[in-house]
Every structure is written in C-alpha cells, then in structure tokens.
Structure 1
Amino acid sequence: MNPFRSQGDAPPAYTPGPAQNLQPTMDTPRSTSTADDQYAFLKSFDTIFLIDDSGSMAGRSWRETGKALETITPICTERDADGIDIFFLNHPDSSLYKNVTTAGTVIEIFQTVRPGGATPTGQRLQKILKPYLQRYEKNPETTKPINVIVITDGEPSDDVEAPIIACAKKLDKLEAPAWQVGIQFFQVGNEAGAREALKQLDDGLREASGDDELRDIVDTVPFMGDDDAELTGHGVLKVVCGAIHRKLDRQTKGLHQKRPEA
C-alpha cells in the first residue's frame, strides 16, 4: 500500500491485516524477561504515539517516520500489556487506533495515511492530555502514567506550549509523581529551525511559564544527527524513555553515530 497517493485520494479507514514480523532497524535489545531489561521502565506506562501527518511530512520526513516506527514500536508494544495508542494530527480515523499490541499493525496503520494539512500539535496534545488529567485527578492510584511520543518534522502551526505548561502545572498542583506524564518530541527531517523550536519546548518552558519550579515533562531527540548520523542503541533508549526518565533527559552525547562506509 503506497502512503504517497495523490492528494485527491481520501485516506481509507484502517482494516487489520496479518501482523508483520518486524525487527528493529537499530541494534536494540528487546527481551522483556531478563532482570536487566533497560526498557523495563516502560511496562509501568501507557505509550501513546502522536504522528505528524501534515503536508510538510511528505517525502524524506515520511520515509524517516516509517523507519523510526520500525525501530521503536517493537520496544513499546512488547512492554505495554494493553497495547499502545496511535493518533495523527490530521487523519480522520486517528481516534480508532487504540490498544495496538503488535509492531506490524502499527506499520499497517501508518501505511494507510498520507501527509496533508497543517501542524496542529498543540490542539492534538490538548485532546490527549486534558481527559487524561481528568481521569488522573479522579483516580490517581489506578491511572497509569503516560509516555507520549510525538514524531514530527517541524514547528507546530498552533500554540503547543500552552497545553504542555497547563499539564505540568496541573500535575504539580496534584503532587503527581515526576514521571506521571512525559512528552517526547522525536524530530524527523532536517529542518534546523524546527530543531531549535523543539529544543525550546525542552529547555524553555519554565521561562515561558514564569514558574521556575515547573516540572520538566518534555524531551527532544532528532532521528538523524549531524551529517546524517544514525541513532545508536542509547539514542533509541532516550527516544522511548527520555521524557519519563530524568537521567536520560539530561544526556545529549552518544545518541548518533555515522555508519562505517561499505
């Protein structure tokens, strides 16, 4: 199924097909049975993917998103017992993709979507975060933490700071654990301006909020490093856990490396 259909075609609803036996494209450990599983922290979280399907994603960014999903979704689906949730910024059937338990199904869903439209990241995040916070306030003991992984190539077309700051303030007011909500911005494509905008979300929210004590719930990682260097295993670990694990959030070195020339 071709994700680059003509702009006149309407994206179809997802129809489940046979699950694909995908393997991560990076060298990432996947065992969930060993005591030293470095991704074991994810078992305590509900993982949510928010995928940018705006018009600017067509081409390189869309191909990189497919590769990124092949790399990280096996890690997440194997460690979320009730399955991950998948949302898109524009795709009309986005709300249907919940409790997905296999990486192959994630790729099938991705292949039914074509890029087109704006980048309403803030609006989409608000639709995820607001009902979650309402559930948490009512039942804090039984509401699992969430790990939101946003895959995007550019700067949002709306206000993304406001819903994130509101979420962080609400969590502070409720005295929620530091890891209750994490938002990872995983940048595909090579727009330098987009990288700076996403970095500002990671490092500048306290200043923007006027609250020096505001909790940090955001991390950012680019899919490709300088000179198209690829993610290392440690880089993949930061992608999936950096927004919910403060030590990983602070790490910036060793995330990418150039592949040796053939």
Structure 2
Amino acid sequence: MVPNPTIAVIPAASQGADEPYSFLCSFDTIFLIDDSGSMAGSRWKETADALETITPICTAHDADGIDIYFLNHANSDFYHNVTDAGTVREIFQTVLPRGGTPTGQRLNQILKPYLRGYEKNPDTVKPINIICITDGEPSDDVESPLIAAAKKLDKLDAPAWQIGVQFFQVGRDEVAKRHLKQLDDGLGEIAGDDDLRDIVDTVPFTGAEGTHLSGDGILKVVLGAVNRRLDRKKGEDLHR
C-alpha cells in the first residue's frame, strides 16, 4: 500500500472538512457483516449504528452506493447499491443473526470473481474496499483467500490500493482481537513471504458504552486498508 496520492497533493490549508474522504470516489465499497449467533443483541445494534453512520460518507462519494454481504444470510446473498441509512436500518431489521463465522468462505466468494474480472480488464475494473464488521474469530480459514488475493495482485502488478480488506471489530473479545491483529500485521509471515503486499487493516472498537465512532474513526474504517497513513492511526483515538 502507498499513501493516498489524492490527499498528498492537496495543501493542508486548502482542505475542507470533507476533503479526506475524497479518495472514496476511487473505490466500490463493500461491507461484509458478521451475522453469526454471537452478534445477536447489543452487538447487532452496535453494528447497525456504525454502518448507518458510515454509509452516508461512503455514498456521498460513490453514486453507485455500497454493497452489503452477510456471512450466513441466505435470503439475499447481498444488497446492491444501498445509498441511505434508512435502507441499512431496514436490512438489519430483516436479517437475524445466527450460525457460525465463515469469514474466509465469504471473502473467497467476493475476491475470486473480482480478481478474474480484474485480470481480464485491468484498466476498467474499479478498486474495491471490503469492510468486514465482526465480533469474533472466523470459524474457517480466512488467511488463505487473503494471501491468495495478495499474491495474485502482486503477480498482476496491480496498483497498491486495488483491493483493501478492513476488519472492524465490535465487542471486546481478546482472542478475536489478537487474531485480527495478526491478519493485519503478520499476513506475510503466515504466507512465508516478507514481501507480500499489505491489503489488510484492523480496528477494534475500544470506545466506552454509549460512545460512537468519531470523524477520524470513520475515516480510519472506510480507508484504513488502502491508505498507509491511516493504517498507522491508533485505535484508541477513534471514539468520542
């Protein structure tokens, strides 16, 4: 990953309050939501609230809206072109958390066809920013599809920001936190390739009860996996 060139060339004094989000127009934003049984209750509400907050920022820079996938929900594999927070609320009232956490399987279903399309038409396929909101450790192999995607991107000499995968943890599960951090900081080590490109970022929700994501926190969530400067931000600074 490399620093955002769009942000880098804008003098600080000329940046408006909304300017840091301008890089979003370069991406299709995909949310992958953990709807496992452990997400029921307060965590489901917390996830819905976070997504309602983030959605208007994403859609203000992408007229196509966002796509929403769930790990288990089979009634509709995904919701396409979601453009407002009200629709997000309706979706979360319809989907009921249940089942396991097959994060790797679902990521593979998103990444493989995308990479096939990119390989065929690299000049026309828009980069994607996948934001996975989860409370726990995956119940399957999530490392393999991430490593395979990073290796494929390296082989194709794709831009550093072609794919970003952001894991945003809700809840305070320490085991999950350590596992997600390993995906962020140690994917190359797991792959046995120190030069493997970094496509993963993780953010734990560290705010106290009743707090919400700050503006900086929202920016970290939506761009952290594709912007190295934001990737270095500390999670403790993200809530108010």
TM-score surpassing 0.5? yes
Letter in 2 for 1:212: D
Q: Secondary structure at the match of 1:38?
A: helix
Point out where structure 2 has 5 or more consecutive residues left out of the alignment.
1-15
In the aligned structure 1, how far is the partner of 2:185 from the partner of 2:208? 20
Q: What corresponds to 1:238 in structure 2? A: 220
Q: Answer yes or no: is 1:205 the counterpart of 2:208.
A: no
What's the CA shift for 1:88? 0.2
Question: AA paired with 2:202?
Answer: T
Mapping for residues 43-192 of structure 1, pairs under 5 Å? 43-192=25-174
Distance 1:151 1:164 in 2: 16
> Residues 136 and 207 (structure 1 numbering): CA distance in 2 closer, same or farther, change over 3 Å?
same
How far does the alpha carbon of each residue in 1:79-125 deviate from its partner, in whole angstroms, 9 at most, with x for none? 11212111000001332411222222122112100110010000000
Name the CA shift for 1:119/1:96 in 2 (closer, same or farther; >3 Å): closer
How many angstroms does 1:63 deviate by?
A: 1.6
Greater per-residue helix proportion: 2
Uncovered stretches (5+) of structure 1, i.e. residues with no partner: 1-33
- 1:221 alignment counterpart: 203
- 8 Å CA contact 2:172–2:205 kept in 1: the answer is no
Identify if the C-alpha distance between structure 1 residues 228 and 200 changes in structure 2 by more than 3 Å, giving closer, same or farther.
farther
Are 1:232 and 1:254, in contact at CA under 8 Å, matched by a contact in 2? no
Query: 1:131-184: per-residue Cα shift (whole Å, max 9, x none)?
Result: 000000000000000000000000000000000000000000000000000000
Percent of aligned pairs sharing the same letter: 70
Aligned twin of 1:4: none
CA distance in 1, matches of 2:210, 2:182: 22
3-state SS in 1 of match to 2:111: helix
TM-score (norm 2): 0.88
Matched positions, count = 225
The superposition leaves residues 161-216 of structure 1 with CA deviations (integer Å, 9 ceiling, x where unpaired) of 00000000000000000000000001011111111111111011010000110000
Residue 228 of structure 1 deviates from its aligned partner by 7.5
How much does 1:68 deviate? Answer: 0.7
Task: Call closer, same or farther: CA 1:52–1:222 in 2, change over 3 Å.
Answer: same
**Paired residue type of 1:153:** D
Counterpart position of 2:8: none
Structure 1, 161-170 or 59-68: larger mean CA deviation: 59-68
Cα separation, partners in 2 of 1:220 and 1:94, compared to 1, 3 Å = farther
Normalised TM-score (structure 1): 0.81
Q: Helix, strand or coil: the match of 1:195?
A: helix
Alpha-carbon offset, residue 225 of structure 1: 3.6
For 1:97 and 1:87, locate their aligned partners in 2 and report how far apart those are by CA, in whole Å: 7
